[in-house]
Amino acid sequence: MKICEKCQGSMVMERAVDLEVGLSILYFACLNCGKRQQAEKEPRPLVHSITDTPLRTNGGA
């Protein structure tokens, strides 16, 4: 668990999701004062492109 710089309280990791844009980001939230601190450098897309996933075969059956 991370310690809040402002009040020395406990911080827990949470995920924020923006469904309109299709992005999510992790951040730390203080249980005592409510301060939030970003845990990732940039948001992640919620879904991957079809062209990024490798094709799977059924083993020649």
Residues 13-31: tens digit of each pLDDT = 999 999 999 999 999 999 9
pTM of this prediction exceeds 0.75: no
Confidence (pLDDT) at 31: 95
Report the C-alpha gap between 10 and 14 in whole angstroms.
Answer: 13
Report the 10 Å Cβ neighbour count for 28.
18
- The per-residue pLDDT for 57 is 62
Q: Find the mean pLDDT for residues 34-42.
A: 93
Closest CA to 27 of 17, 61, 51: 17
Q: What is the pLDDT of residue 46?
A: 87
